[in-house]
Chains A and B, each alone.
Chain A
């Protein structure tokens, strides 16, 4: 039962254009959504997050949009740069046992920025 889905395994974008990465979820109890970026042979690093009470959060070139009615979020990167080439994981957070927040991850999307 995949609660967080990234249906595009890969995406190729030209440098300078906009990259849009998509993510769908099924559990309406998720209260935060996060994007992580992962380079080869490194651990994932946090990129940007959004609370379920908001519909947009912006940080420099990165903007995350949340559509609760569609249970869909997207990450926009503009303008795209070669250093943005990486695997991007969408994650959703929900309260779990012992007060911890459980992060459920999507399968990841490999973004390639072409010069």
Chain B
């Protein structure tokens, strides 16, 4: 079982460039989400989805877009990268009915915006 797979693991962008972070899970989880981790800030929720075609904003959604066309995939798009988006990004998923909300995380994508 691959679990949650994120690509790329590392990326360097220039300010204003766009890119997509890919996330795929093979556990048939309805719920998928994106977090960013910054020093001293913990993990903050960017966007989440409870199923194909359904997405919603988290705590820090500005500057990011998401879509969910299949159960397996949940890409995160940066339309015009800014240095403030330099961070480590984690995709996470779980069964919607999972009591307690335990999430399964990918290994992370480290993004640097110059």
Contact = CB atoms under 8 A, between A and B. Distances in A.
Interface of A: 4, 6, 9, 32, 34, 41-46, 49, 51, 89, 91, 93, 97-108
Interface of B: 4, 31, 35, 40-45, 48, 50, 54, 56, 58, 90, 92, 96, 99-108
Given A98-B54, A99-B50, A105-B42, A44 B90 contact: yes
Contacts of B40: 9, 107
Contacts of A42: 107-108
Contact of A103 (B56, B101, B106): B101
Contacts of A91: 43
A67 to B, nearest CB: 18
B42 A44 contact: no
A86 to B, nearest CB: 14
Given A4-B42, A49-B100, A98-B56, 13 more contacts: A6-B42, A42-B108, A43-B90, A43-B106, A44-B90, A45-B105, A46-B102, A49-B102, A51-B100, A97-B56, A98-B54, A102-B45, A103-B103
A105 B90 contact: no
B102 A43 contact: no
Given A43-B4, A108-B42, A100 B31 contact: yes
Contacts of B106: 43
30 contacts: A4-B42, A6-B42, A9-B40, A34-B100, A34-B101, A42-B107, A43-B92, A43-B107, A43-B108, A44-B43, A44-B90, A45-B105, A46-B102, A49-B102, A93-B101, A97-B56, A98-B56, A99-B50, A99-B96, A100-B31, A100-B50, A101-B101, A102-B58, A102-B101, A103-B101, A104-B45, A105-B44, A106-B42, A107-B40, A108-B42
Contacts, number: 66
Contacts of A102: 45, 48, 58, 101
B99 A32 contact: yes
A98 B45 CA distance: 16
A89 B48 contact: no
